[in-house]
Structure 1
Amino acid sequence: MDGTPMAPLAGVVVRAIGDTTPVRVALDRLRAAGCDVVRGEGPPPVAAPAGRIELLATPEGGPAEGGCDLTWAPPGSTVAPEDEQDVQALCGLAHLHGRSLGGARPLPIDYASVCAGVLASQAVMAAVSAGPVGTRSTVSVAGAALSAAAPYIAEAAASEGGPSTVVDGSRPPFRSLDGVVFEIETLDPEAWLRFWTRLGAPTAVIASGWPLFQRRFATAVCPLPDELSGILASTRFDRTRAVGLDTGVGVVALRPPESVPDARPVSPWRLRGVGGPADLRSRWAPREGAPLAGLRVVEATNRIQGPLAGLLLSFLGADVVRMEPPGGDPMRGVPPLAGGVSARFTALNRGKDAVEIDLASWEGRESATALVAEADVLLYNWPPGRAERFGLGMEDLAERAPGLVHAHVDGWVDEGPEDPVPATDFPVQAHGGIAHLLAEGGRPAPSLLTLTDVLGGIIAAEAVTAALALRSRLGTGVGARTGLVDAARLLREVGRATGREEPSVLVPVEDPRCVVDLFPDSFTTIDGVPHPRSPWTSTPMEVGRR
């Protein structure tokens, strides 16, 4: 397929009204997909105060109905945010970002607006992929923020003691004896023990620090014992880095945005055609408000980024079935539980089916191949090469599933540091320049709110809709690959906040559970725990009306 233009929206024309961050982000994404953009004049309409994107023409050249409205607040809100700062205050992002700092702090980037822009782009792509559906989608910036806060809201609601609080200790990042600011990462408690033992930390201190470090993804706090940060402060960076290499702990220095090479791929989703012609007749039966209805997605992901991508596809109507190991995903049992299942797991995986398959066995791999062969999309976040090891790579499935969309949800995507470092949120923030974008008082530090995980999941879902549109044009399978580094790149490109500099006059929520009272129509309740509804809503349109 070399030389094939990867422009899934070639021939699509949209008109944009408004010049807000979400509109600019959405238009950049749509242009990258080959869409032509016409700029409308005047301010956004009252129904779309954050901007409007209207479909004007389809790939076939005919007229189109629909598009995407952007608002600040979702329907049924008891409050009326007017910009990014208000959204962060009311949706809990300011609280979560500042939780480890002792008080609410707004992110100095237009984070919720960027997420909303990608969601708007995805809404347009999904509508084009499904054909004319006669609806206009609405994405609110607050709804995007609620998607980011969802696991924290679920955890707070399911916890007997309420949300996590700050206790005394030293939070990452660390500073070495020679002044290098850096992050460390490992998902292995044995590697954690080896690392700190080599550096001379007492065993009791090492043991007390591990659960705090491991849970920082869920709690947005990481008050490590002062003894640990003191050891790193008295050690030169090269020594710490060497110990990390030897013990299996990733060590990565923070980089300012200007020092991050511009490695932007030709396609934001690294799309490419796979195999020869395919019969694309499937169960796909788009309907109003569900442009992906009937599509089957097989998801093999864990943690945040991949499961969120699958959840967003299900919100668009796709049938999502998870492949989990024997005994189920271990994350199902992580406290706090609600209805016998982790509240955080439910926040990202509700509404999906699941099958347990042992991919280490020949029988399991055969079962997985048969399952995927009947699907439209394979969504996975295995490390590079593992899909091929399981016999589920693009070339492996070219004959049995020639029209399959292969969506690899990755981390570093070949843009990682020189040393091996787990591709998780905080190292990506550090290496990708985000820690410096968030700097306060000259001190760069990654947010303990999982920024690249959430935005990376939204981008991964967008990649699937782009790949589906390209599949329709090429008549073949399509490969897509996105990573956390793409989320970091997008945040760097948008840069520091573009709105007003003074803080919101609205008092930030101090407990994630309070968000539910402010946006009651945006939540559904499962086993007593509130979970945000789809970030998209759809409005039927009369023929010829825009």
Structure 2
Amino acid sequence: MREDTLLRPAASATTAPLAGVPLAVAGRSPAIDLAVRQLGCLGVELTDRQDDGPWLLRLGHGPQAVECALDWAGRVALPLAGEADVQAACGIAAVNGRRHGAPQQLGIGYASAVAGVLAVQGLLAARYAALRGAPVRRVRTSVADAALLAVGQYLAAATADEPAEPLAHAAGAPPFTSADGVRFEIEALEPGQWLAFWTALGVDRRVVGRGWPPFRLRFASGCCVLPAELGSATAALPYRQLADAAGAAGVGIMPVRTAGPGARERGGAGGGATAPWQIEPVESGDHTGAEPPVSPGAGPLAGLRVAEMTRRLQGPLAGHLLALLGAEVVRVEPLGGDPLRGVPPMTGGVSARFHALNRHKRVLEADPRSAEGRRAIRDLVAGSDVFLHNLAPGKAEQFGLGAAELLAVRPGLVHAWASGWGAELGAGAPVGTDYLVQAYSGLASLVTPPGRPLAPTLMTVTDIFGGLVSATGVLAALVARASGGGGQRVESSLLSAALALLDTAVPPGAPPARLPAATPAELARDPRFAAALHRDGCVLPCSPWEFGPR
């Protein structure tokens, strides 16, 4: 039987929705190479590999095959010819360099990595649409589109109705160093945790208070100027004592490690890396496998509903990507709305950064701690195709929102959890946020500029990449469901995203940027970016994909 008939085999114990599907590849680049590795994890059979020609990925064969074309510049009218050019022109170098006082290239091929994932997502979305009878066969994306997606929140803040917070550089930013020479990151999500930790170290409360606002906003601003007294306090104590104080205060703490051989387990399908997601079929009762039809001219996920219960960046970005692909996304927020809606700078009465990731979503306010709230969420899920959450470990089950419970309500559901650590650190893991994950994984050592002490980039690279990984897992699970696999459980983490990025280190001697570094505000005014950006209260990236028939 021919693969292009899109037969629907039963899913295996660990879902590989593209098992045996032929993949032909033309051209070679970091983006193409990452896409091939991830498609290998989904089970493809690499049947044709040509190093020359325009970048192209062709999945399947015959009239039902889908293709993804990539290039450097996409819709950006600039002569972009490499990773360094894209990082400079599209704002990554400027955002990454905020903590250092000047633009600074990331030491990883980040824009290319994001583009590779976008290519995989485009192919999965097109294949899913084809399984539903839609004439979507071709998708385009680019490394420049990927970079603009990665700086989307910073672009929104730079072009909001009110000025963004002033940026400053100082040597007092974390990580800190202990008396015995341990370089470490900390994380506090609540001001009470922050206060308890520093007062236990003997720091004056007024100094502690001055440090909280820049520390809290460092995820959004990309810089963090802290009072010098904080660094002096940690330098006077051994790491073990600091870790005890952090544990007592509920503060996460993590040494900054160096990436090296063995930092990432190798292997997996197609000779590629270990998959950054886990996709497993779940017994889900009477699911017929019927998929909603796609409306002509609509996105490849049109007709699907995603129930999203997420916070911060990783989960909302995953939901945002699914919305850009045409899904209806209904966001579950606390009663009174997500507090991040009010974080300045504001545009049209809402936080510009929040708007950048959530503007296409409807909202259901519900408290999962109450019976009424749980009932409202379960009613939403009963009419949804995907439940996406990034709740703390065990919380979904505590609220009755685990995979088993929800698949009983909605057979055929894709239940997706985007976590911080996955199962890596066990029950005693600290809160899993971007900078702690960069520190633990060794990614921080790759993004530290030469000659500087080890430090994560304050650009939220793992949050963004983690959202991309989560969305890819959801798309792969939808393909598996449409291929007869029934309900699916998807798990991914910030740590799995960071480990995937360890493969993208920029090699020594890589060409430097030929173009000057632009800030998000500057590129928003540049007419050469007009086709890749649009204004919706503030300036935002257009969808990174263009779909169409072959």
| TM bucket normalised to smaller | over 0.9
| Aligned-pair CA distance for 1:4 | 2.3
Among 434, 449, 458, which residue is 2:468 paired with? Answer: 458
- Please show how residues 247-326 of structure 1 align to structure 2 within 5 Å: 247-258=249-260, 260=263, 262=265, 267-275=275-283, 276-285=285-294, 287-288=296-297, 290-326=299-335
- Tell me whether 1:347 sits opposite 2:350 in the alignment: no
| Aligned-pair CA distance for 1:164 | 3.6
Q: Which runs of 4+ in 1 moved over 6 A?
A: 263-266
Q: Which residue of 2 aligns with 1:172?
A: 174
- Tell me whether 1:26 sits opposite 2:30 in the alignment: no
Q: Which residue of 2 aligns with 1:48?
A: none
Q: Which residue of 2 aligns with 1:370?
A: 379
Q: Is the 8 A contact 1:91 1:515 kept in 2?
A: no
| Deviations, residues 263-322 of structure 1 (Å, cap 9, x unaligned) | 989753211111145123343426556211111111111111111111111111111111
- Please show how residues 433-472 of structure 1 align to structure 2 within 5 Å: 433-439=442-448, 440-441=450-451, 443-472=453-482
Distance, in Å, in 2 between the alignment partners of 1:177 and 1:230 is 10
- Tell me whether 1:481 sits opposite 2:481 in the alignment: no
- Tell me whether 1:140 sits opposite 2:149 in the alignment: no
| Aligned-pair CA distance for 1:514 | 2.6
Among 519, 533, 543, which residue is 1:523 paired with? Answer: 533
Give the 3 Å change call, closer, same or farther, for CA 254–137 of structure 1 in structure 2: same
Amino acid at match of 1:486: S
| Deviations, residues 80-102 of structure 1 (Å, cap 9, x unaligned) | 21111000001110001011101
| Aligned-pair CA distance for 1:419 | 5.5
RMSD (CA atoms): 2.1
Q: Is the 8 A contact 1:9 1:125 kept in 2?
A: no
- Tell me whether 1:54 sits opposite 2:58 in the alignment: yes
Amino acid at match of 1:90: A
Distance, in Å, in 2 between the alignment partners of 1:197 and 1:264 is 47
| Aligned-pair CA distance for 1:532 | 0.8
| Structure 1, 253-262 or 95-104: larger mean CA deviation | 253-262
| Aligned-pair CA distance for 1:63 | 4.3
Q: Which residue of 1 aligns with 2:106?
A: 107
Give the 3 Å change call, closer, same or farther, for CA 328–163 of structure 1 in structure 2: closer
| Aligned-pair CA distance for 1:262 | 3.0
Q: Which residue of 1 aligns with 2:89?
A: 90
Distance, in Å, in 2 between the alignment partners of 1:270 and 1:444 is 31
Q: Which residue of 2 aligns with 1:535?
A: 544
Give the 3 Å change call, closer, same or farther, for CA 296–225 of structure 1 in structure 2: same
Among 352, 357, 369, which residue is 2:366 paired with? Answer: 357
Q: Which residue of 2 aligns with 1:333?
A: 342
| Deviations, residues 127-151 of structure 1 (Å, cap 9, x unaligned) | 1222263431111111111111011
Among 180, 189, 192, which residue is 1:190 paired with? Answer: 192
**What SS does structure 1 have at the residue aligned with 2:50?**
coil
Aligned length, in residue pairs: 529
Give the 3 Å change call, closer, same or farther, for CA 38–498 of structure 1 in structure 2: farther
Q: Is the 8 A contact 2:305 2:327 kept in 1?
A: yes
| Structure 1: runs of 5+ lacking an equivalent | 46-50, 542-546
Q: Which residue of 2 aligns with 1:69?
A: 69
Q: Is the 8 A contact 2:313 2:467 kept in 1?
A: yes
**What SS does structure 2 have at the residue aligned with 1:530?**
strand
| Structure 1, 131-140 or 374-383: larger mean CA deviation | 131-140
- What TM-score, normalized by structure 2, do the two folds share? 0.92
| Structure 1, 138-147 or 128-137: larger mean CA deviation | 128-137
Q: Is the 8 A contact 1:129 1:472 kept in 2?
A: yes
| Deviations, residues 424-448 of structure 1 (Å, cap 9, x unaligned) | 1000000011111123215221000
Among 426, 432, 437, which residue is 2:441 paired with? Answer: 432
Amino acid at match of 2:471: A
Q: Which residue of 2 aligns with 1:544?
A: none
- What TM-score, normalized by structure 1, do the two folds share? 0.92
| Deviations, residues 4-37 of structure 1 (Å, cap 9, x unaligned) | 2421012321210111011010011111111112
Distance, in Å, in 2 between the alignment partners of 1:30 and 1:273 is 19
| Aligned-pair CA distance for 1:513 | 4.2
Give the 3 Å change call, closer, same or farther, for CA 417–177 of structure 1 in structure 2: farther
- Tell me whether 1:402 sits opposite 2:411 in the alignment: yes
Amino acid at match of 2:146: A
Distance, in Å, in 2 between the alignment partners of 1:475 and 1:367 is 28
Distance, in Å, in 1 between the alignment partners of 2:452 and 2:192 is 35
| Structure 2: runs of 5+ lacking an equivalent | 1-9, 269-273
- Please show how residues 160-239 of structure 1 align to structure 2 within 5 Å: 160-162=162-164, 164-239=166-241
Amino acid at match of 1:130: A
Q: Is the 8 A contact 1:277 1:476 kept in 2?
A: no
